[in-house]
Amino acid sequence: MSQAPSVTREKSGDGVVLSLAGAWVISAGRTLEAEAAAVTSGAAGAKQATIDLAGLDRMDTAGAWLIDRARAELAAAGVSADYRDVRPEHAALLQEAGYRPSEPPTLTRPSPFLVLLAAIGESVYTAGQDLIDIVDYLGEIVVMWSRLALRPGRWRWTSVFYHLEIFSLRSVPIIALINFLVGAIVTQQGVFQLSRFGASPYAVNLVGVLGLRELGVLMTSIMIAGRTGSAITAEIGSMKMREEIDALRVMALDPLEVLIMPRLVALAVALPVLTFIADMTQLGGGLIVSWLYAGMAPAVFISRLQGAVGSNTFLVGLIKAPFMAVMIGLIASTEGMEVRGSAESLGRCVTASVVKSIFMVIVMDGVFAMFFTAIDY
């Protein structure tokens, strides 16, 4: 059996000779650590130390590391330490598994301008990547729509009507309430501000044109983006986490056809209907406020409204609605498919879906406003 590791100290002029013997292997445990510390303490006060390895029976990587660490500590204390009578196999271990002090990482703080520039560049790249993903998904949906148009029997009408109920019928109370309050607030502020110029009756024109052309469809789309878009992302994302979408593919079912197309169709039908309800409730809120706040009779309100609003004003909001519905559905579906296998990923994608949908709804509303103004419609 190999002997336990040991260190013998002998003086030699102004230096010392530290003779190592035994088995310097990891199985020696605490003895190995203690003897390695004895190498360092044995050369205390000397100018030169010679570490003699001729008496070593065995040495592994742990022993080589501890021996070389002792040599490095002696060198750091000002003692010149060298090896003597090193076998070739031990020399290879000391070279490959020897002690190497870890250097503390140097923290470099980039300039705030570069950080800001990098953040802007990352945001632009991410926005461009999202745009590419949405366009790519839109192309897949157009192809799927063409296939289903040629084979109507493949439409999942039960799923379409189910989601139509969820998206439209159950959204009516909150959509009607929000738009009623918006119409009432716009009319009240219009009456209050225009009364300074003796033009308070023109508040009817304000709520009629603004509500039917812009606010009705905009408020409804924002509410649907927050209510329905987040639900679509959460549903598809949860299915992605539980590998249900992979199971559909294994069963030779296209998730685009089974999951996304019914939701898109239901959303494209539901949003114009909800926009019509929003328009009516906004006008109802304006009528009640003008009656109670400005003393304008309902008959007068309706008469002035007919003179201020044409059929084109009413149709502008309804024309926008399907396009906004498709955009909300596209973003919600895309983010749902981006969910990975963690709850954090699901929450992040749901948040991104709502934020992106609301942003794109507002952008599309502005684009449509400029378009309809350019064609004088």
The pLDDT score that the predictor gives to residue 310 is: 84
The pLDDT score that the predictor gives to residue 44 is: 72
Burial of 62-83, coded b for 16+ CB within 10 Å and e otherwise, reads bbbbbbbbbbbbbeeeebebeb
Q: CA 23, CA 263: separation in Å to the nearest integer?
A: 73
Q: CA 172, CA 175: separation in Å to the nearest integer?
A: 5
The pLDDT score that the predictor gives to residue 1 is: 52
The pLDDT score that the predictor gives to residue 22 is: 82
- Which among 330, 315, 334 is positioned nearest to 361, based on CA atoms? 330
Residues 209 and 307 sit within 8 Å (Cβ to Cβ): no
The pLDDT score that the predictor gives to residue 217 is: 92
The pLDDT score that the predictor gives to residue 71 is: 83
CA distances from 149 to 141, 142, 153, 155, 262 (A): 12, 10, 9, 9, 13
- One DSSP character per residue, 135-181 reads HHHHHHHHHHHHHHHH-GGG--HHHHHHHHHHHTGGGHHHHHHHHHH
Q: What is the pLDDT along the chain (377 residues), one digit of tens a residue?
A: 567 888 888 887 777 887 888 888 888 878 888 877 887 787 776 778 888 888 888 888 888 888 888 888 888 787 788 888 888 888 888 888 777 777 777 777 888 888 889 889 998 898 888 888 888 888 888 888 888 888 888 888 888 899 888 888 888 999 999 999 999 999 999 888 888 888 888 888 888 898 898 899 999 999 999 999 999 999 999 888 888 888 888 888 888 888 888 999 999 999 999 999 999 999 999 999 999 888 888 898 888 888 888 888 889 989 999 999 999 999 999 888 888 878 888 888 999 999 999 999 999 999 998 998 888 87
| Torsion, CA 316, CA 318, CA 323, CA 329, rounded to 10 | 150
Q: How many C-beta neighbours within 10 Å does residue 220 have?
A: 29
Structure tokens at 220: 């409804």
- The predicted model scores a pTM of 0.69
- Which among 39, 29, 289 is positioned nearest to 181, based on CA atoms? 289
Which residues make beta-bridge pairs with 16? 11, 49
The pLDDT score that the predictor gives to residue 128 is: 87
- Which among 356, 350, 162 is positioned nearest to 265, based on CA atoms? 162
Helices 261-293 and 157-167, packing angle to 10 deg: 30
Residues 324 and 192 sit within 8 Å (Cβ to Cβ): no
The pLDDT score that the predictor gives to residue 2 is: 60
Helices 216-224 and 261-293, packing angle to 10 deg: 130
Residues 269 and 329 sit within 8 Å (Cβ to Cβ): no
The pLDDT score that the predictor gives to residue 152 is: 82
